Amino acid sequence: MASTLLFEIGTEEIPSGFIVPALNFMRSFVTERLAAQKIAHGDVKVYATPRRLAIMVSGIEETLPDVVETKTGPPKSIAFDKDGNPTKAGLGFAQTCGVDISEVGVTKTAKGEYLSVTRTLPGKKASEVLPVLLEEMLPKIPFGKTMRWSNPDVRFARPVHWVLAIFGPQVLPVRFGNIAAGNVTFGNRFMSPGPIEVKTPEGYEQALEKAYVIPDLEKRKQAIWKALEEEAKKINAEIRDRDLLDEVANLLEYPHPVIGTFDEAYLQVPKEVLVTVMKHHQRYFPMYDAHDTARLKPSFGAFSNIVPKDDAVVRAGNERVLKARLDDGRYFFVEDLKVPLQTYADRLRDVIFHKDLGTSWEKVERFSAVALALADKIAPEKKDKVGQTCSLCKGDLNSLMVCELPELQGIMGREYALRQGIDPEVAHAIREHYLPASADDALPSGVVGDIVGMADRVDTICGCFGVGMVPSGTSDPYALRRQTIAIENIVLGKGYRVSTAWLVDLALDRLTAKLRRPRKEVRAEVLAFFANRFVSILQARGIPGDVIDAVIGTFDDPVDTFARAQALSSMRAEPWFESICAASKRVENILKKAASQVPVDPGLFAQDEEKALYMAFRSMEGDFIAHALRGEYSPALKLLAALKEPIDRFFDKVLVMSEDVAVRENRIAMLKGLVSLFDRVAKFSRIATQ
């Protein structure tokens, strides 16, 4: 007979960001352990609120299947003497297995005959196995931080107050520190704080909902969004900020909507300020005009964890807190506008960027030089605007608003620039040089933002590597991985033909006085770092792993590398492709053993097959190189089709390693030239073939 397992850990309020990773771990841990022990089961469902983490597994048999166990012992030659009598080794093995020596069998293996005992062990009860699994899982649940409390032998995200563990109606003997599991959970802390007896796992969700707790996270999120949409419709508004939904859902057990308003006068403050205050500081949902979603309405959606006796009291409290925040924002905005953005930028002389890399002013000076060089290459007509953007783009870091709300860096710089009459293109580049902020974020809309953003990032990357702050494992305090991918996405997305090595050298030239490691070493590490990050970009774009391996060795220009990868991926199904790859592997193996330094001499060809290959090679070589130089890799690769037959006949009929030294070196020289031609596109030898 099958039963359902229910396990719940009841705690004080867990930080919202800890909950989903913990649930994912619990699900994977339990399913992997059940599979490892060959325990069949049905659905696995996880539950969570700020005060509980739970997992339910259905369809577990109460008695687990019998286990057939085979133990292998010593070799037969050691277990028995020449007369066939058991030795101490044989008797000891039988005793260890709990059987008589007469019940011991012999198994033939590749190494000889060994004693063995095969027996069927009756299946254990699930109620004996599951507690061990659960007690093993508890201390392994990952959290950003853990703590101790009055239960000194264990650590958890927050103090644990109860553990519920039942298998069907049976309580499992699970312990966590000095807490023994039972069949009791607790409802909403304010509306139903008493204990709730859970008689069967199937009644768990319903019992909690009656106690003003919605344990299903997805159901709670749906309830929040539905309530917001209904309330927004009443005031002709829309809700857009789904990115806040996960966090709010993990702050509540029983969400009750509270719709508040604020004075329309605050709408004179930039929208981003209001949205940041509402979302990031109050966890309120901004409401947007249903007819113009670029405009805010003076309303917001908040949630209470209880159903209050009087919504008006709760609404007034939320409005009062928000008003204080908005007053601060309006004050900062008005005061900042009194100070020219250039004045704020000049004050960067007194701001330390990093103790080993100098002030923020020095950083601006460095990446300004890089940006101007980039502008010469990409958009010389924008050079003046690039210089002006560089001088202003970090100014808002000194503003009152950004000091209070760092999330608004760049955004406020744009607003202040526009309101102070600065060129709109420069103003928007001040904002956009921070884009993309993540892998799926939008790229800057203009070339000025592209150039300044790349220059700023490459200075940070090279500077951090230069003073020994190299990312390792999960440690990357300056987000160098993200910044590197941002540069490559800009270059690739906009089609800029920029050498990574050239860009890195530009940055290192300006960092010479700051480097604490040898420049050559730093340069090599940074270039490898860029190449490794580009691998992840190629993977995300669906390029096969072996093709990536074939092109990444000559990575420098992201646009060129991606074009080569695309061309290879599209050509690998062609009938001639495998012959080229196989030939490349074969030639590289030959060159490892015997490289040739002599030029090819057609007069030394002794067989028709090598003459034919040489002629085919020379007839397409010029066109191949011309196409490759123009980045036309698909047309270049199609020319290789003419080499398939000559290559196949050559390796079938010609012995490369001839006893005649001159002939041998001439053949090797021809093959070396052939592979050198292929290498203009990729290392074909690294592409998998059937």
- φ/ψ region of 496 (left if φ > 0, alpha if ψ in -120 to 50, else beta) reads beta
590 shares a domain with 493: no
The pLDDT, as a whole number, for residue 66 is 63
My answer on whether 634 and 610 are in the same domain is yes
Does residue 31 belong to any structural domain of this protein? yes
**CA angle (640, 643, 646) in 5-degree steps:** 175
317 - beta bridge partners?
none
Helices 519-540 and 480-494 meet at what angle, rounded to 10? Answer: 60
Q: What's the pLDDT score for residue 690?
A: 64
CATH of the domain at 130: 3.30.70
| Domain finish residue from 493, 510, 541 | 541
Helix boundaries (H) for 467-576 = 480-494, 500-510, 519-540, 545-552, 558-571
Strands (E), 66-134: 67-75, 105-109, 112-121
The last residue of one of the domains, among 321, 337, 353, is 337
Distance CA 38, CA 300 (A): 52
Report the SS3 class of residue 130.
Answer: helix
Over 345-399, what HEC string results? HHHHHHCEEECCCEEHHHHHHHHHHHHHHHHHHHCHHHHHHHHHHHHHCCHHHHC
What CATH number is given to the structural domain containing 392?
A: 1.10.3210
Residue 548 in any domain: the answer is no
Q: Do residue 117 and residue 134 come from a single domain?
A: no
How many CA atoms lie within 13 Å of 363's alpha carbon, on the beta-carbon side? 29
Q: Both 478 and 620 in a single domain?
A: no
Which among 337, 371, 406 is the end of a domain? 337
Q: How many other CB atoms are found less than 10 A from the CB of residue 438?
A: 11
- The answer to whether residues 576 and 611 belong to one domain is yes
- Structural domain count, the chain: 5
Let me know if residue 549 belongs to a domain.
Answer: no
Asked if 362 and 496 sit in the same domain, the reply is yes
* pLDDT score of 594: 67
CA distance 549 to 564: 12
Cis check: omega of the bond before 436, within 30 degrees of 0:
yes
Q: Which two tokens stand for residue 514?
A: 């700051």
One domain for residues 478 and 400: yes
**Tokens standing for residue 67:** 């286990």
Half-sphere exposure of 62 (CA within 13 A, CB side): 8
Q: How many residues does the structure list for the chain? A: 690
Please tell me the predicted confidence (pLDDT) of residue 410.
Answer: 97
Residues 364 and 443 in one domain: yes
Residue 234 lies inside a defined structural domain of this protein: yes
Please check whether residue 137 lies inside any domain of the structure.
yes
Phi/psi zone of residue 421: left (φ > 0), alpha (ψ -120 to 50 degrees), beta?
left
What is the DSSP code (8-state) at residue 309? S
pLDDT at 122: 67
pLDDT value of residue 557: 96
Q: Is 297 among the domain residues?
A: yes
Assess whether 347 and 432 both reside in one domain. Answer: yes
Question: Is residue 411 located within the same domain as residue 501?
Answer: yes
Is 494 part of a structural domain of the chain? yes
Query: For the whole model, what pTM was predicted?
Result: 0.82
Q: What 3-state class would DSSP assign to 100?
A: coil
Residues 529 and 677 in one domain: no
Q: Tell the residue number behind the tokens 């940006």, with chain if given.
A: 371
Domain limits for position 282: 217-337
Low-confidence ranges of the chain (pLDDT < 70): 64-69, 120-123, 594-596, 690
Any domain includes 366: yes
**DSSP 8-class letter at 281:** I
Give every CB contact of residue 481 below 8 A, 6+ residues apart in sequence: 471, 533
Structure tokens at 542: 């669906």
Q: Judge if 576 and 632 occupy the same domain.
A: yes
Instruction: Give the span between the Cα atoms of 503 and 496, in whole angstroms.
Output: 12
C-alpha closest to that of 479 among 493, 460, 453: 460
